[in-house]
Amino acid sequence: MVRGKPETGVAGPLKLEAIRSALAPKRLGGTIHYFEEVDSTNVFAARRAREGAPEGEVVIAETQSGGKGRLGRHWFSPPYMNLYMSVILRPALPPADTPQLTLASAVALAETVEPFLRPPPEIKWPNDILVAGKKLAGILAESSCEGGRVLFVIVGIGVNLNFPREAMPEAIRERATSLMIVTGRPVDRSTFVRELIHNLDRCYGDLHENGFPCVARRWERYFRLKGKKVRVESPGQAVYGKAVGIDGEGALLLEEEGGEIHRVFAGDVVPIET
Ligand code: BTN
Average pLDDT value for residue range 35-53: 98
pTM of the shown model: 0.92
pLDDT in tens, 239-248: 999 999 998 8
Contacts of 190 (CB under 8 A, 6+ apart): 14, 15, 18, 19
Gap between the Cα atoms of 181 and 177, Å rounded? 6
Q: How far does the centroid of ligand 1 lie from the alpha carbon of residue 153, in Å?
A: 14
**Which of 32, 34, 43, 68 gets mutated to test ligand 1 (max ligand atoms within 8 A of its CB)?**
68
Q: How far does the centroid of ligand 1 lie from the alpha carbon of residue 64, in Å?
A: 10
pLDDT in tens, 159-188: 999 999 999 999 999 999 999 999 999 999
Q: DSSP characters for 62-97?
A: EEESS-B-GGG-B----TTTSEEEEEEE--SS-GGG
Would the pLDDT of 266 be above 90?
no
% the chain with pLDDT above 70: 95
**Which of 32, 42, 76, 135 gets mutated to test ligand 1 (max ligand atoms within 8 A of its CB)?**
42
* Confidence at residue 10, expressed as pLDDT on a 0 to 100 scale: 57
Average pLDDT value for residue range 191-214: 94
Residue count of the chain: 274
Would the pLDDT of 90 be above 90?
yes
Amino acid occupying residue 240: Y
Q: Count of CB atoms within 10 A of residue 248's CB?
A: 13
The residues facing 141 across adjacent strands are 155
Is 16-221 in CATH node 1.20.58.1610? no
Which band of pLDDT confidence, cut at 50, 70 and 90, is reported for residue 274?
A: low
* Confidence at residue 81, expressed as pLDDT on a 0 to 100 scale: 96
Which band of pLDDT confidence, cut at 50, 70 and 90, is reported for residue 1?
A: very low
* Confidence at residue 2, expressed as pLDDT on a 0 to 100 scale: 37
Mean pLDDT lowest among 4-8, 84-88, 177-181, 222-226? 4-8
> Does the Cβ of 70 fall within 6 Å of ligand 1?
yes
* Confidence at residue 9, expressed as pLDDT on a 0 to 100 scale: 45
Q: How far does the centroid of ligand 1 lie from the alpha carbon of residue 126, in Å?
A: 14
Is 229-271 in CATH node 2.30.30.100? yes
% the chain with pLDDT above 90: 79
Contacts of 74 (CB under 8 A, 6+ apart): 66, 67, 68
Q: Where are the domains of the chain?
A: 16-221, 229-271
> Does the Cβ of 158 fall within 6 Å of ligand 1?
yes
CB 114 within 8 A of CB 120: yes
> Does the Cβ of 110 fall within 6 Å of ligand 1?
no
Backbone angles phi, psi at 98, to 5 degrees: -65, -25
Would the pLDDT of 57 be above 80?
yes
**Which of 70, 73, 140 gets mutated to test ligand 1 (max ligand atoms within 8 A of its CB)?**
140
Average pLDDT, the chain: 91
Average pLDDT value for residue range 176-202: 96
pLDDT in tens, 116-140: 999 999 999 988 999 999 999 999 9
* Confidence at residue 7, expressed as pLDDT on a 0 to 100 scale: 38
* Confidence at residue 11, expressed as pLDDT on a 0 to 100 scale: 65
* Confidence at residue 22, expressed as pLDDT on a 0 to 100 scale: 80
Average pLDDT value for residue range 84-103: 94
Which band of pLDDT confidence, cut at 50, 70 and 90, is reported for residue 4?
A: very low
CA-nearest residue, atom 16 of ligand 1: 156
Gap between the Cα atoms of 107 and 118, Å rounded? 17
Q: Do domains 16-221 and 229-271 have the same CATH topology?
A: no
Amino acid occupying residue 35: F
Gap between the Cα atoms of 140 and 72, Å rounded? 10
